[in-house]
Amino acid sequence: MITALQAEKEISFTEDAKPSLKQGVDMEKLIGVPHLFCRYSETRAGFIIVPIGTMTLQADGRITGYNHPNEGYWQPYQYGTVNSDQAFAFVGAGNRFIPSSTWQQTFCEMPIGYYCSDPEMPQKLCLVPHTTTAAGVHIVYVVASCLRFYEKTVPKLVQELLEEGIETSRIKVVVNGCDQDDDKTINGVDHAFTKHNAWELSALYEAPLRWQFDYAMLIHDTNQIHPGFRRKVENFNRHLQWDHLPATPMARCLVGLYAHDFLLRTNSWLKKIDGMDKKGGIIAEVAGEMIHRAKTVLAMGDPETNGAARQTEWREAADFFNSGTIRVRRVFPTINLHKFTHTDLADAITL
């Protein structure tokens, strides 16, 4: 089966032919074309890009679609290692000549720059061509649950997904910690019952083995969907073949999109952690183990805040599930997703 991603000619990262850094910026491709302005950081296996906003460099030096004093204007840069017609600088809105960042390299058709204002250390930046998601990309929504709670939590969440216009064929439920492996269809939704027991990581283990997709959106059975969720999830940049698109820069709660190929590459590790306790699951999540195993990572951006990535926000605390333990509402504003998580980690660990 050839998926939409495999059929398109995209820049991909293979072990045999890794892209290299090139000197100079093709200004003709840059000027007048919308780009994501992002922070760029290297990881163990690749890199992560965190969007700041969407901008367009105009031929007369103006910057449109984005507003910050550091990037008040752009101008050719003549003091670097390439000709000034292949380099530029962002300059402050107040002085119009002191650079806040300089740009004279390209990686995977993305201009690469270095921040040179406070704090006093160079920080890597990039501009990602603003390529929207193709209509043919096959996205499934994978709900991570467990044998003890799925009958109580999953039906309500499935109904919320349906109300977002997501078809039952694209909703998948993984129930971990079972006595035996089994596949069932319940009210039109595929359920994978698995003996694998590593919390939400079990869903990432089972999903590529059970189903075909381009990307899987991992959510928890303790999530609540708010209007606009699907639109925000499926409105992501497609300039590269991203292994992982987390809903926050450090993939809190593992919420985000995962490429099928990436999950297959990490499947041997996910198999090894079968039986991991909750404390271990929390450690692996917070350490960003899935991010560090990916070659290409783009944090999701919120289209309602000019494409910028956003952190989670904490809201009210209450006993949402009448379980006798207090949970706090954790909001993922980038995708209109809410999660109820324990205020006392001891409660989560003893589940």
Assigned domain for 317 exists: yes
Total-model pTM: 0.91
Q: Are 58 and 188 found together in one domain?
A: no
Please provide the DSSP assignment of 55-115 as one string.
EEE-TTSBEES---GGGSEEEE--SSSS-GGG-EEEE-TTTSSSEEEEEEEEETTEEEEEE
Q: What are the mean pLDDT values of the chain's consecutive 10-residue runs (351 residues total)? A: 41 66 97 98 97 98 96 96 97 93 97 89 94 85 94 95 97 96 96 96 97 98 96 94 97 97 98 93 94 98 95 85 80 95 60 53
Assigned domain for 22 exists: no
CA distance 6 to 200: 27
- Count up the domains in the chain and report the number: 2
Assigned domain for 160 exists: yes
Assigned domain for 8 exists: no
Predicted local distance difference test score (pLDDT) of residue 346 = 53
Q: Are 232 and 295 found together in one domain?
A: yes
Assigned domain for 72 exists: yes
Q: Are 248 and 322 found together in one domain?
A: yes
Residues contacting residue 197 through CB under 8 Å, at least 6 positions apart = 176, 177, 274, 275, 276
Predicted local distance difference test score (pLDDT) of residue 122 = 87
CATH number at residue 206: 3.90.550
Q: Are 283 and 179 found together in one domain?
A: yes
Q: Are 255 and 108 found together in one domain?
A: no
What pLDDT digit, counting tens, does each position of 334-349 carry? 999 999 886 665 555 5
Predicted local distance difference test score (pLDDT) of residue 19 = 80
- Kind and range of the H or E run holding 257: strand 256-259
CA 184 to chain centre: 29
- Kind and range of the H or E run holding 29: helix 27-30
Predicted local distance difference test score (pLDDT) of residue 102 = 98
Question: Looking at 129, 153, 173, which one is the last position of a domain?
Answer: 129
Q: Are 160 and 120 found together in one domain?
A: no
Predicted local distance difference test score (pLDDT) of residue 8 = 42
Predicted local distance difference test score (pLDDT) of residue 149 = 87
Predicted local distance difference test score (pLDDT) of residue 285 = 93
Assigned domain for 6 exists: no
Q: Tokens 């639109």 label which residue?
A: 231
